[in-house]
Every structure is written in C-alpha cells, then in structure tokens.
C-alpha cells in the first residue's frame, strides 16, 4: 500500500503510528513528502486536499465524540450548531466547545473518532433528553449496541439521568421522528403501537389507543404523485373507522406540545373502529 492510499483510508490525514499500522515505513513517508504530501506538524501527514478541520483534530490530538461523531456512525441526530464535541486525554475541548473526558474503549483505528460505545455514553451524559435518545435508539435498533452494555457502564447516582433516557428506548422506529413522536405521546399517557399493519391500508407509523393513526414524514413534499398516494392511504384509513393525523419534521421537532394537544383533542372524541 502506498502513502496516498493509506492517507485516503485515514480520511485524508493521519499521524505516523496510524500509517505504520497500515504498513507505511519512514522511507515511504519521506518519498511521499517529496511527492506532495503535506506535513502540518511533526509526525502528522496529510493530503493537499484534506479538510482543515479534520487536520486540526489530529494536530490537537482530539477525537470526535458525542453528537459530533453521529454522522460518522450514521446515527440519527437533530440539527446541531456550535462547536464540535471532542475527547482529549486532558479533557480539553475545541476552542470554547464541549470537551469530553474518559474513554472505555479503543477509538477507531484509522480515524480521529471515539468508539461507538463511548460516543453514546458521552451523548447520554452531555445532551438533552431527546438528542441522546434518538442517537441511542438508532444504534440499538440497528443491533450495533445493547441497552445492557450502556447500563452497566453508567453506574451510580451521577448517571441517573443518563439511565433514565435508556428506559424510553424502544425498537421498531424507522426514523428519529417516530422515536420522538412515540415518546412524546407515551409521556402524555397515550397508548402507542408502532409500525402496525392495518387491513386495507398497510403499515402505519403509529396507532394511538387503537383508534388514531399518526403518520410521520420528514420529507418536504413536492411531488404530486406522493401527495396523492398519502391522501389515498388517509382516505382508506378513515373509511375503516380510524381518525388520521399527519405530522412533519417541524411539527415533531419544533412544536411537539401543539402536536400532542391536537392528538389528545382528537382522541377525546373518536371511538375505536
């Protein structure tokens, strides 16, 4: 393997030990530098096209973790703004950003990213309830993590809030909208079934109290064919005696109280089919 290929595997930049693990020796590194590989600092090598923020992580010996590592692992996450969440062995964050200390597992072998278990533990300790819930439920639902693994690593009173999040994790949700909506409804005392098959309609996202179908959609509807398909499903549901409500990303994420209030109002006057 040549240096350029190894750096590509590592995301565009890497420190010398990581490259050595891929079979790159010092002589190959010297040749690569003469051929155009950049040395931002001693022991760090980067392709000319490497992202500056990525190189900075390696320069500061930091690892992405918490919600900042969610894209790397393909985890559900709400839109985030602000500084990156990073781990540093001295507990230093990125310039004014959140710093996380303590690793239980070895980080990714080729990228400056904490292991999935540490990413989720940091999220449970750091993020608000719903942000950490969607990350954990995504990993557990895919089979990449277990609740038992996380519980055993969150002992004591100081981790009580994190363990409380785990009690709301469920399986079967196909999106973060389903996870959040289901949780809001259950917190309001509503009985919720997920991914229920309704005869003549198909699978619906949520069935509340056996009589109200709630469909969730994170897309921006612009295709008329899809709009007609959704409306026909709604019509078939109503013909079979169900009430139907449909909510989108903004409803679930930004206006959950209004959504729950509408659902309670409909449930108060609709009988089960």
Q: Angle at CA 250, nearest 5°, toward 245 and 253? A: 95
One-character DSSP codes across 100-122: E---SS---SSSSB--HHHHHHH
SS3 193: strand
Same domain, 146 and 187: no
Low-confidence ranges of the chain (pLDDT < 50): 95, 221, 224
Residues 108 and 180 in one domain: no
Q: What is the pLDDT of residues 11-63, one digit of tens each?
A: 999 999 999 999 999 999 999 999 999 999 999 999 999 999 999 999 999 99
**How long a stretch of residues is the chain?**
273
- Calpha distance 228→36 (Å, rounded): 56
For residue 215, count other CB atoms closer than 10 A to its CB: 17
Per the DSSP assignment, residues forming a β-bridge with 206 are 194, 214
How confident is the model at residue 25, as a pLDDT? 96
For residue 133, what are its two tokens?
């819930």
Residues 107 and 181 in one domain: no
- How confident is the model at residue 247, as a pLDDT? 95
Does residue 102 form part of some domain? yes
Q: Are residues 182 and 258 in the same domain?
A: yes
Same domain for 46 and 22, yes or no, is yes
Q: Has residue 106 been placed in a domain?
A: yes
pTM of the model: 0.88
Helix axis angle for 176-187 and 129-142, nearest 10°, is 120
52 and 140 share a domain?
A: no
Cα–Cα distance measured from residue 261 to residue 259, given in angstroms and rounded to the nearest whole number: 5
Q: Given this model, what pLDDT does residue 155 score?
A: 94
**Pair 71, 160 in one domain:** yes
Give dist(CA 244, CA 231) in Å, integer.
10
Q: How far apart are CA 178 and CA 191, in angstroms?
A: 14
Q: Give the contacts of 42 (CB within 8 A, at least 6 positions apart).
A: none
| pLDDT of the residue at 91 | 56
Number of separate domains in the chain: 3
Same domain flag for 100 and 117? yes
- Domain with 47, as residue range(s), is 3-59
Q: In what order do the strands lie in the sheet with 243-248?
A: 192-198, 202-208, 212-217, 243-248
CA dihedral for 34, 39, 43, 45, sign (positive or negative): negative
Between 176-187 and 256-267, two packed helices, what is the crossing angle to 10 degrees? Answer: 60
Alpha-helix residue ranges (DSSP H) falling in the chain? 3-9, 16-21, 26-34, 52-59, 70-73, 116-126, 129-142, 147-152, 160-166, 176-187, 224-239, 249-254, 256-267
> Terminus-to-terminus CA distance in the chain, angstroms?
65
93 with 32, same domain: the answer is no
Residue 273 in domain = no
Find, among 187, 188, 239, 189, the residue nearest to 213 by Cα. 239
């Amino acid at each position: 393997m040549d240096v350029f290929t190894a750096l590509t595997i590592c995301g565009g930049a890497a420190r010398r030990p990581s490259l050595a693990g891929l079979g790159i020796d010092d002589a190959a590194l010297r040749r690569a530098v003469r051929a155009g590989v950049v040395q931002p600092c001693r022991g760090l090598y980067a392709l000319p096209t490497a992202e500056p923020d990525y190189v900075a992580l390696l320069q500061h010996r930091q690892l992405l973790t918490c919600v900042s590592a969610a894209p790397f692992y393909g985890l559900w996450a709400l839109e985030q703004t602000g500084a990156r969440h990073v781990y540093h062995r001295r507990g230093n964050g990125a310039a004014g950003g959140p710093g996380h200390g303590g690793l239980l597992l070895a980080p990714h072998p080729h990228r400056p990213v904490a292991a999935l278990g540490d990413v989720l533990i940091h999220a449970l300790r750091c993020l608000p309830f719903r942000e950490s819930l969607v990350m954990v439920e995504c990993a557990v639902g895919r089979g990449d993590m277990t609740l038992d693994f996380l519980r055993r690593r969150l002992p004591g009173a100081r981790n009580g809030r994190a363990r409380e999040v785990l009690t709301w994790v469920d399986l079967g949700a196909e999106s973060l909208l389903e996870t959040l909506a289901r949780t809001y409804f259950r917190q309001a005392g509503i009985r919720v079934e997920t991914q229920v098959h309704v005869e003549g309609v198909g699978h619906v996202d949520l069935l509340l109290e056996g009589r109200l179908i709630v469909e969730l959609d994170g897309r921006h509807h612009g295709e008329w064919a899809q709009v007609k398909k959704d409306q026909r499903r709604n019509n078939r549901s109503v013909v079979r005696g169900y009430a139907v409500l449909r909510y989108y990303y903004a409803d679930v994420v930004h206006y959950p109280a209004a959504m729950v209030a509408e659902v309670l109002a409909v449930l108060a006057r609709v009988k089960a089919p």
